Structure 1
């Protein structure tokens, strides 16, 4: 299968949404940020700048115990990651439809880390808030996933009920993006099988695409060959190379819960 622009939902086809971005926990308006932060973030898109300085990620140790919190900005600076070993909690959603096709997204060009790469359905962070710190049954992470699926892809909460998310595993990885930015995450891998309504947010998403197993394998081949400029996010590639196709067998068989292992933290590179 070709992944040319004619087969994708392009940015021009994505409807602009009038709703404000998901975070309502602002501490400082952008104009009130200290001068140093305004200068450092001058090249960022306004939405990404606000999220970078207002969202507080959950800092954890390598056993996933909460040790504090810091801005999304600091958590994604490779200098900070390397000098202070900043590790934050994250999640990656893998959403399948009733045909057992996986929904992929291409990150928007305005993303600070890994712009325009293809990745799984939704990737983000639970925030250091009461509702997203709840650890029983990974409820805080599920709350964050539901929030970001709405924010990024316009998927209503009713389409992705919390009790339909299945946490399958946790992985710890580090990945530089462009020399300045990168990721160092303890990532919860959440699976869900639901037919959903989509209204992608162009501030977050450039394109979306449902793929079959065979279509994903073709996408991987093209990315490996450097064809069409296709790039995959490092966390998605780690999941693909270590877990995904085996888990997809469970999706097809309706036995996904049998694959869950939330006790192990997989340290991958």
Structure 2
């Protein structure tokens, strides 16, 4: 696996990330058991062999009007190109600053890094201590015949007004939505209208958690929703 020549049509930026980034391999209890390239971790061959479960995070960023920032993944993404999803979805890497367990600091550091990489949001706009880790979910989802996801995903919420300058290598579009806007996006996706498609992990969060957590965002009571003990095993 990991044959660069076999993927010579891959966008140069995505190829570099797929082969240079080392994801954190974990067991189903979120214990670190090793590391592997982003490329190998997203091959269905590796996933089906049970060797690809890795740590991930999904950021849900709200502005002061309690609107949620969504992004559409770029067309050059290897997995799930052009799907709409939550603010930022990526992986903490196998490096000291992103392996730190206390207060979920490693995952928070990774989230801050990727918000800058993908959406141009400066680190000072999203201080690591302002992320609220609400829970964890474990899911598996195919992207196409070759690629897929098998992740233990940390769900991070943050309420901040930020500067957004999307990186076109990562993001095709971005917009803030209200609850009603989001429900309309899901309706269009379910009806097959306007070519709207959604990431599987975003669907899982919306179907299982998002709207009740959105209530806590608006009430300023997010800490009441925190459950970092449970790992929710969800199937897409």
Q: Unmatched 5+ residue regions in structure 2?
A: none
1:186 match: 152
Q: How far does the alpha carbon of each residue in 1:137-174 deviate from its partner, in whole angstroms, 9 at most, with x for none?
A: 11000000000000000000000001100000000000
1:19 match: none
1:28 match: none
SS in 2 for 1:142: helix
User: Larger Cα Rg: Structure 1 or Structure 2?
Assistant: 1
Query: Do structure 1's residue 259 and structure 2's residue 225 form an aligned pair?
Result: yes
Which of 170, 173, 176 matches 1:210? Answer: 176
Which of 144, 157, 168 matches 2:123? Answer: 157
Query: Do structure 1's residue 244 and structure 2's residue 210 form an aligned pair?
Result: yes
- Please give the alpha-carbon distance, in whole angstroms, between the structure 1 residues aligned to 2:71 and 2:4: 30
Once superposed, which parts of structure 1, at least 4 consecutive aligned residues long, lie more than 4 Å away? Answer: none
2:143 match: 177
SS in 1 for 2:206: helix
SS in 1 for 2:107: helix
Query: Do structure 1's residue 145 and structure 2's residue 111 form an aligned pair?
Result: yes
Q: How far does the alpha carbon of each residue in 1:212-266 deviate from its partner, in whole angstroms, 9 at most, with x for none?
A: 0010000110010000010000000000000000000101111011001000000
Query: Do structure 1's residue 104 and structure 2's residue 70 form an aligned pair?
Result: yes
1:44 match: 10
Query: Do structure 1's residue 130 and structure 2's residue 113 form an aligned pair?
Result: no
SS in 2 for 1:236: helix
CA shift for structure 1 position 43: 1.5
CA shift for structure 1 position 40: 1.8
SS in 2 for 1:79: helix
SS in 1 for 2:71: strand
Q: TM-score, normalised by structure 1?
A: 0.86
Superposition CA RMSD, Å: 1.0
> 5 Å matches for 1:63-82?
63-82=29-48
CA shift for structure 1 position 210: 0.1
- Please give the alpha-carbon distance, in whole angstroms, between the structure 2 residues aligned to 1:55 and 1:142: 17
- Please give the alpha-carbon distance, in whole angstroms, between the structure 2 residues aligned to 1:141 and 1:74: 21
Which of 113, 119, 134 matches 1:168? Answer: 134
Of 106-115 and 83-92, deviating more is 83-92
